[in-house]
Structure 1
Amino acid sequence: MPVYHEGSRALQDRVGVRETADHVGRAIGDGIKPVAAAFLELQPLLVLGAADPETARVWASPVTGAPGFARATTPHQMSVTGRVRPGDPLAPALATEGVRIGTIALDPRTRRRMRLNGRLRPTPRGLAISADRVFSNCPKYIQRRQSYEVVADRGAKDPRRGTELTAHQRRFIASADTFFIATVHEEGADVSHRGGNPGFVRVDSPRALSWRDYPGNSMFLTLGNIRSDSRAGLLFLDWTTGTTLQLTGEARTLFGADGARRVRFELTEATETPSALPLRWSEPEYSPANPVPAD
């Protein structure tokens, strides 16, 4: 599989960073190196992203467990013990052999992240993913959270579904400092992270939100996917209460006259699940790379 497809290449060329992207892209491999395997085994949270094979909608969903629940069982396979909660919108995809899936393990304690994309195989205890692409990213825009605790008696409440954001959900998004975005293309799926100071995501209407695309590693994997296939899934977490807000819809990138990029997301469906995750993280220390939201 080539490192970049035409969607990413088109954006790299528009911004003039193809040479930089080629250099950074050498870090993408198809194997899980020992240092990556060790990092993965320390994580209590993994975010998965894929397209539902029936509805074609793209969703991002979290899975949690004691460290070691996600681990490299071979240099080319990750196994996950555990499943998404019953009724999670991504559950049909995770039960389908061969589905293309993206994953990200992000550690707020060390401000490190690892992405592994590949093909899914359901297992009796969870799932296994045969790796096509494995790589890490720089710590830009990751908020440091020094520690977490497991709230053993916390249980997911009934999900709230809708086609418009409620007033509470709009406030939740407007106060977020982190979200995850799942995107797809004909050769695979990917999950990435977006972060910034609260207010970096703007709620434009009950069915639309947007955010400025901050300078990154010049790969343009997420925006490249969006250019080729507009479907996307967003995941917002409440790092204290464990509430999750999952959105699915379509995204597009807007370019300003000054070259600044803004991504606009149009909502198709929202699922909010109170107390979905048993993790309670400490208060954030915002990344020094975060720009002050200006619009």
Structure 2
Amino acid sequence: MVVAIGPGLLGVRARVDAANDPVLRALWGGRVVGEQVVRSGDKVVSGLGIDLQTRDRVKLMGRLVAGAVAQGEVQMAVRVEGSLGNCPKYLNGRALVARTPEVEGVEDGFPLSARARRVVDQADLFFLSSGHGTGMDTNHRGGSKGFVRIGRNDEGAVELIYPECCTRPWAISRPTPSWASPYPILTLRMYSMHAFTFCPAIWNWELTSRQATGTATILTGDAADALLPHTRLAVKITLTSALLVKGGLPMRATSPQVDYSPYNPPARPLAAEGAAALPSTPLATATLQHRQPLTPSITRFTFALDAPHEPVPGEYVTLDFAAELDHGWSHMRDDDPRSLNEDWIRSFTVSGSPSARAFEITARVKRGGATELLAKHLLRGGPLEVAVRGFAVTEGTRMGAVAEGGKKKEVFVAGGVGITPLLAQAPGLLEDGKAFEVIWGVRGEDVGVVRDAVERIPGLAARLRVHVTGKIGEADEETLAKIEALGLGVERRRMEKQDLERVFEGEKRKFYLCAAPALLTIMKGWLENEEVVWEDFGY
């Protein structure tokens, strides 16, 4: 509880884990044992008042006047010397209630244990206090679950990396405008309780807190992108100490429900975790030449390149749409909050036959994004040029290699536009006589994509079985009749486990999966005893 007790004075009362709380140790000059009183007019303190349900927050800084600890409760008087209200961005709504801390276990030192790593991995919010000279500041950083990544984790050091998305990066989380780097992090608190994770994180209702100190280094431009791809500003915190306390929090969640902030950018993996860093300058420029709607929501786009590249069947292209879609800086953007931290970089599988000077992509058009720009651009009104950031191949969808010598049969399983990696590879696989089969799940309104695929790739229909779900209109039934006449197997139901098990049953086989995250999770469960590689298009 925090109340005003006089002009410029706040009274603070809270249940605490007196034995392990680093703030109390700092204010009391060491470990708190029994009942203790401290009087000090020069110890700098800072805090953050926050209501996660309403997303209100205000920063405070000042000096400790006096304090006392008795029976697990701390009371302090703080003279406020500065305050600042903050915006609601990156705060994930949740309901908390007070509880009495009951410590069940403590871990200290490096490397971080599996339990400690889970606290970080599941976190969508943490608090940090930084100090420089005679100033001090406390603030929060939040985002999607997993926005904090663990870099180095060994006995020598632990590194935490996250993208910096605040309006004026770090200026409002530091007591001075100096950008000296590295600089001290006095405390960094990550908590875990359950069901919603919140650095404070809520995990297994264990009310676990991760407390740490260290130094922070700010990375910009290519240095940030090399460490955390798709990021132009990142912070790396090198921990100098860390403490994991199970059951030490004076709060708990009342519900597992989380109201995630609409401003949260997607969590990005580190380059060390497999994410590909992008070159700082474009490799080429792609000009939109043609588009062909295949269904009400799926279109094939054809681009010409101003510089040749060595094409590989099954590759993907990364395009930068920032020149067309970036709105520039703004503090808030409630009409389109996700665009505030949007880099407008998108990757698409090249769905047509390889070419050195052109490429095709087949994509579902989504409102307000890069694909809508491609779908609505007036081709006669002038060229639409997009920067090409690179071409690459994902081994998760590259077929043909394991089939050498006939040792293994390959099964490609796709959902919707997840078929695109197969479309570019199928002509070569058929020509080489590779043993492969395809299972493809589509919505009734998307059967036009199936017809286009089997008409453009002779021989594919004999290797393909399609599962059609949802409403099938009269025109779509006519389309299905035409493609069934080509030898295509059609099932008017959802894909099931046995559909995958029957393909090349009893033979050595390898499955390639490409689908949206939800379907991908289901299919991986079906194939837990099989050799499986996968890609998702959850972007």
Same fold per superposition (TM over 0.5): yes
Q: Aligned letter for 1:231?
A: P
Distance in 2 between the 1:215 and 1:123 partners? 33
Q: Aligned letter for 1:73?
A: I
* Residue 64 of structure 2: aligned partner: 120
- Is the counterpart of residue 76 in structure 1 residue 8 in structure 2? yes
* Residue 221 of structure 1: aligned partner: 172
**Closer/same/farther in 2, CA of residues 149 and 81 from structure 1, 3 Å limit:** closer
* Residue 269 of structure 1: aligned partner: 241
Q: Structure 1 residue 158: deviation in Å?
A: 3.8
- Unaligned runs of 5+ residues in structure 1 are 1-68
Distance in 2 between the 1:158 and 1:219 partners? 34
Q: 1:237 aligns with which of 152, 169, 191?
A: 191
Q: Aligned letter for 1:230?
A: Y
C-alpha distance after superposition, 1:54-75 (max 9, x if no partner): xxxxxxxxxxxxxxx2112124
Q: 1:102 aligns with which of 46, 62, 79?
A: 46
* Residue 210 of structure 1: aligned partner: 161
* Residue 92 of structure 1: aligned partner: 25
Indicate if the aligned counterparts of 1:164 and 1:269 stay in contact, CA closer than 8 A. Answer: no
RMSD: 2.3
Distance in 2 between the 1:294 and 1:91 partners? 35
Secondary structure of 1:116's match?
strand
Q: Structure 1 residue 218: deviation in Å?
A: 6.2
Indicate if the aligned counterparts of 2:127 and 2:140 stay in contact, CA closer than 8 A. Answer: yes
- Is the counterpart of residue 189 in structure 1 residue 136 in structure 2? yes
Q: 2:215 aligns with which of 226, 250, 253?
A: 250
Q: 1:166 aligns with which of 113, 118, 131?
A: 113
Secondary structure of 1:81's match?
strand
Distance in 1 between the 2:62 and 2:138 partners? 11
**Closer/same/farther in 2, CA of residues 218 and 265 from structure 1, 3 Å limit:** closer
* Residue 148 of structure 1: aligned partner: 96
Distance in 2 between the 1:114 and 1:190 partners? 11
Secondary structure of 2:119's match?
helix
Secondary structure of 1:221's match?
helix
* Residue 290 of structure 1: aligned partner: 264
Equivalent residues in 2 for 1:15-94, closer than 5 Å: 69-82=1-14, 84-87=16-19, 88-94=21-27
**Closer/same/farther in 2, CA of residues 137 and 156 from structure 1, 3 Å limit:** same
Q: Structure 1 residue 173: deviation in Å?
A: 0.3
Distance in 1 between the 2:12 and 2:213 partners? 24
Figure out how many residues of one structure are paired with residues of the other and give that number. 225
- What's the TM-score once normalised by structure 2's chain length? 0.39
Secondary structure of 1:90's match?
helix
Q: Aligned letter for 1:71?
A: V
**Closer/same/farther in 2, CA of residues 172 and 287 from structure 1, 3 Å limit:** same
**Closer/same/farther in 2, CA of residues 223 and 76 from structure 1, 3 Å limit:** closer
C-alpha distance after superposition, 1:205-262 (max 9, x if no partner): 2111100001425671325658347111210112443211101111110011488210
C-alpha distance after superposition, 1:97-140 (max 9, x if no partner): 22111101111110111111011122346211111111110000
Indicate if the aligned counterparts of 1:77 and 1:130 stay in contact, CA closer than 8 A. Answer: yes
Indicate if the aligned counterparts of 1:116 and 1:135 stay in contact, CA closer than 8 A. Answer: yes
**Closer/same/farther in 2, CA of residues 138 and 84 from structure 1, 3 Å limit:** same
Point out which structure has higher relative CO (alpha carbons under 8 A, 6+ apart). 1
* Residue 57 of structure 1: aligned partner: none
Indicate if the aligned counterparts of 1:181 and 1:192 stay in contact, CA closer than 8 A. Answer: yes
Secondary structure of 2:179's match?
helix
- What's the TM-score once normalised by structure 1's chain length? 0.70
* Residue 347 of structure 2: aligned partner: none
Distance in 2 between the 1:219 and 1:209 partners? 16
Indicate if the aligned counterparts of 1:77 and 1:129 stay in contact, CA closer than 8 A. Answer: yes
Bigger Cα Rg: 2
**Closer/same/farther in 2, CA of residues 103 and 277 from structure 1, 3 Å limit:** same
Distance in 1 between the 2:10 and 2:192 partners? 27
Q: Structure 1 residue 168: deviation in Å?
A: 2.0
- Unaligned runs of 5+ residues in structure 2 are 30-39, 69-73, 194-201, 226-230, 270-539
